Chains A and B, each alone.
Chain A
Amino acid sequence: MDTRTQEFLDYVQSGGQVETSDWMPDEYRSKLVKFIEMHGNSELMGVLPERDWILRAPTLQRKLALTAKIQDEVGHAQLIYRVVEDLGKPRSASLDDLVSGKSKFHNVFHYPTKTWGDVGVIAWLVDAAAIVSQKALLKCSYAPYARIMKKICWEESFHILHGRDVILAMVTGSREQFALVQEALNRWWEPLMHFHGNPIPAEEDPMYVWRIKSQANEDARQEFLDGYVPQILELGLEIPDKALVKDGETGVWSYTEPDWEKLRAVVTGHGPASEERLAFRRLSREDVAWVERVVLAEAA
């Protein structure tokens, strides 16, 4: 490593932040693009399972809230792709790599949504898991990304509340409604435990080394379990992992080791809904190409 790169590394490791116009090592730039682009992809792909439920939402109020959440997530994707563009990769290239399967998106968006219970669990718990990671990104060494994260976290907190409200309505409803929530939780528990990634030590995680992330994967998962396991159990729901327990002395949660090979397979496009979602994204990209043409023509 040359002196300039070493100085840069020392700077970010001591909490320093970098702006777009600052010099940065190529490796840092490419790691940033990879990480931030995957976040943008996840926001964009994350709306597809929810989109399926706009027409099937149980009330007008829920339909409006779901539509608002979807608008937020697409807005996040726009902000995030802009940050990637300023790092040198145009949005059209990011979208090309997404639909061709070259770049990735988060594991939780590779699964189908079977019932309205899944929609509640996604909005509550998937967004809760996401906000743990996103709050840690407020300290990202790349300042333009850290800045937009403020707005994103602010909007995610509304999503969590919306999700929790959906879940509370169902667990206080009929027995069938309660069962829908429990079944959805059973389906989503494994993806949720996968969400923060394998427990690689922070020092071996390049995203941590460059301080793109400020938290180790396992620390994020522990924070999620700490915050949300009590909230799940107090509703009378059961978590489908008999080995899940918090050590009274150390405060550390232990759990059944998730299948990390399965996570790798899912995020490389072999999840139960990966192909369908990517096909839909390709189709909608072609479908709305005319809008871009009209907008650009009118502006010209």
Chain B
Amino acid sequence: MIFEVFRQERKGQPLQHAGTVDAPNERFAEIYAREQYGRRQESVALWLVPREAVNEIDEFPDEFEMKYRRVDGYSIKARLREARERAGTLEAAPGAGDAG
């Protein structure tokens, strides 16, 4: 059985994929993973996941280009300038003078 091994380097950090071990069962997988990824105290936690249990999703279509969900969907520069002009605060605004 192939087990995917995830390792956490320090408390609070994300578990990251470290590699795989080939073991006949979970007990051996644990021993192998400890030897490969933990014998120098380089990990504070290991997750072992049988490869068959991994449900991989690797397609993220964006047919409708839903840019309103993202920061690059908004361009506020021109409106902000107009708002400042109306309020009379354009000169005092940060970066005044180089604002396009």
Q: Chain A's interface: helix, strand, loop or mixed, by majority?
A: helix
Q: Is B45 an interface residue (CB 8 A)?
A: no
Which residues from chain A contact B17 at a C-beta distance below 8 Å? 147
Q: Is the CB of B36 within 8 A of A299?
A: no
Q: Count contacts on B: residues with CB < 8 A to the other chain.
A: 19
Which of A151, A154, A295, A300 makes the CB contact (< 8 A) with B19? A151
Which of A71, A144, A295 makes the CB contact (< 8 A) with B24? A295
Which residues from chain A contact B32 at a C-beta distance below 8 Å? 78
Which residues from chain B contact A75 at a C-beta distance below 8 Å? 35-36
Which of B28, B36, B37 makes the CB contact (< 8 A) with A295? B28
Which residues from chain B contact A147 at a C-beta distance below 8 Å? 17-19
The complex places the Cα of A266 from the Cα of B90 at a distance, in Å, of 76
The digit string for B1-41, where 1 denotes a CB below 8 A from any CB of A, is 01000000000000001111111110110001001110000
Q: Is the CB of B19 within 8 A of A79?
A: yes
Q: Is B56 an interface residue (CB 8 A)?
A: yes
CB-based A-B contact count at 8 angstroms: 38
Interface residues on A, range: 10 to 19
Q: Is the CB of B22 within 8 A of A91?
A: yes
The complex places the Cα of A79 from the Cα of B28 at a distance, in Å, of 15
Q: Is the CB of A21 within 8 A of B58?
A: yes
Q: Is A82 an interface residue (CB 8 A)?
A: yes
Which residues from chain A contact B28 at a C-beta distance below 8 Å? 295, 299
Q: Is A52 an interface residue (CB 8 A)?
A: no
Which of B18, B25, B56 makes the CB contact (< 8 A) with A151? B18
Task: Give residues in B with beta carbon < 8 Å to A.
Answer: 2, 17-25, 27-28, 32, 35-37, 42, 56, 58
Q: What 16 new A-B contacts, CB under 8 Å, besides A91-B22, A299-B23?
A: A71-B35, A75-B35, A78-B36, A79-B36, A82-B2, A82-B22, A86-B20, A147-B18, A147-B19, A148-B19, A151-B37, A154-B42, A295-B24, A295-B28, A299-B24, A300-B24
